[in-house]
Amino acid sequence: MAVLLRNRRIVSDGWQSLEPRRWLQVGEDGLVPDFPAAADLIITPRLWALRREDLLERSGRLGLRLEPEDDPGAFAAELGHFALLAVNFPKFGDGRGFSIARLLRERYGYQGELRALGQVTRDHLFFMDSCGFDSFALRECEDPEEALSGFGDFSEAYQACVARPQPLFRRRLRA
């Protein structure tokens, strides 16, 4: 099982990612395959659109994996179905996922697990955490023990964000 950082701890990941094609293919019997009933599954928007009923019938939890070009607003009304949202970072420098995370948390009120996956390095962790991610599927070559220190790269930030909903200038005033 892959390791994961969740709430700043190293944990093993119980979620299973589904590759859409396989689950949309019609078999010899003329039917699409059944989903594992009890497993926690991370699906894609396409699978969700095409097999929503089947997915909802199961007892296991659902997670949805978004790509940087997906509009999180399109799922705003359905967020209650998902215990996990995963946002993919296909490249080190692709920062769209930071905006997506803030939108999910701040605008659409998503409270469940928000996972960063893809090119997630320790050097991203402070910013990702600030933007509302709480779990991190580090890229393969990253040492999870060492990566944990990335959360502490900075002790403050000027801006308002998910982790610090008030900007520094308002917090200063209160102190």
Does 109 interact with other proteins (rule: CB under 8 A)? no
Question: Is residue 165 a contact point for other proteins (CB under 8 A)?
Answer: yes
| Residue 166 interacts with other proteins (CB under 8 A): yes or no | yes
SS (H, E, C) the chain: CCEEEECCEEEECCCEECCHHHHHCCCCCCCCCCCCCCCCEEECHHHHHHHHHHHHHCCCCEEEEECCCCCHHHHHHHHHHCCEEEEEECCCCCCHHHHHHHHHHHHCCCCCEEEEEECCCHHHHHHHHHCCCCEEECCCCCCHHHHHHHHHCCCCCCCCCCCCCCCHHHHHHHC
Residues 33-92 that bind other proteins (CB under 8 A): 92
Q: Binding residue for other proteins (CB under 8 A) from 27, 30, 93, 109? A: 93
C-beta closer to other proteins: residue 23 or 98: 98
The only residue of 28, 29, 80, 158 in contact with other proteins, by rule CB under 8 A: 158
Q: Which residues bind other proteins (CB under 8 A)?
A: 92-96, 98-100, 102, 107, 121, 123, 126-127, 130-131, 153-161, 163, 165-170, 172-173
